[in-house]
Amino acid sequence: MDFANYDPAGARRSREIISAKIVVAGGFGVGKTTLVGAISEITPLTTEALMTAAGVGIDDPSKVPGKETTTVAMDFGRITMAQDLILYLFGTPGQTRFWFMWDEIIRGAVGAAVLVDTRRITDAFAPLDYFENRNLPYVVALNRFDDAPHYELEEVREALAIPPDVPLVSCDARHRESVKQVLVTVVEHAMLRLQAEHGRGFPTPVG
């Protein structure tokens, strides 16, 4: 179904279309594209950003040692929610040397889900560190691989030093319902954060 169809009769009077973005972060091979693909209405697409001296301002080639140009690929999906509302899911480039791209990806996002693979739990330190130092609401989602050792959520929280106010959930990135739940958690967390920030800014909390 294509809700975003442009009505030719409505032409330029057509309603504004709003888009929102949720970021899916995590180490290389943790299942980001699988997660996006499980819920996206389109097969995940890839867009390439070219890191060159010409990309200054957006991309910082100085952080890619020994290379003048390189291509950073990011995968993303789309969920058309209404005629005037589209949700995009953006996966971050897995390799940590492409972190400078993350700033562009997270700008204006609703929130993020950091995917963790319990077989390679240390891969999660760097992405978690990144979000710890940004003002973007995020949740941590353990992607349950079949052959992965089983840990209780609280063990993982402790091992990764995830702050108590950051939601931690378990998921299967291959399954739509499970992915949906992760995204719902991201948005709910973002709403709580926004409400809390709003409450702090005013003497009488609203709502």
Using CB under 8 A, list all residues that contact another protein.
2, 4-6, 8, 11-12, 14, 16-21, 39, 45-50, 52-59, 67-69, 71, 74, 76, 78-79, 81-82, 85-88, 90, 104-105, 107-108, 110, 176, 180, 183-184, 187-188, 190-191, 194-195, 198
Q: Closer to another protein by CB, 49 or 160: give it.
A: 49
Give whichever of 41 and 120 is closer to another protein, judged by the CB atom.
41
Which among 197, 200, 205, 206 has a CA at the least distance from the CA of 135?
Answer: 197
CB of 168 to another protein, least distance (A): 19
SS (H, E, C) 24-93: EEECCCCCHHHHHHHHCCCCCEEEEEEECHHHCCCCCHHHCCCCCCEEEEEEEEEEEEECCEEEEEEECC
Shortest Å, Cβ 40 to another protein: 11
Within 10 angstroms of residue 139's Cβ, the number of other Cβ atoms is 23
Cβ pair 40, 78 in contact under 8 A: yes
Reference 70, options 90, 93, 89; nearest CA is: 93
**CB nearer to another protein: pick between 57 and 149:** 57
Whichever of 126 and 191 has its CB closer to another protein, that residue is 191
CB of 77 to another protein, least distance (A): 10
Q: Rounded to whole angstroms, how far apart are CA atoms 52 and 13?
A: 40
Query: Do residues 46 and 77 touch, judged by C-beta distance below 8 A?
Result: no
Minimum distance, C-beta of residue 47 to another protein, in the bound complex (Å) = 4
Identify whether the C-beta of residue 157 lies closer than 8 Å to the C-beta of residue 61: no
User: Which residue lies nearer to another protein by CB, 12 or 150?
Assistant: 12
Q: How far is the CB of 206 from another protein (least distance, A)?
A: 8
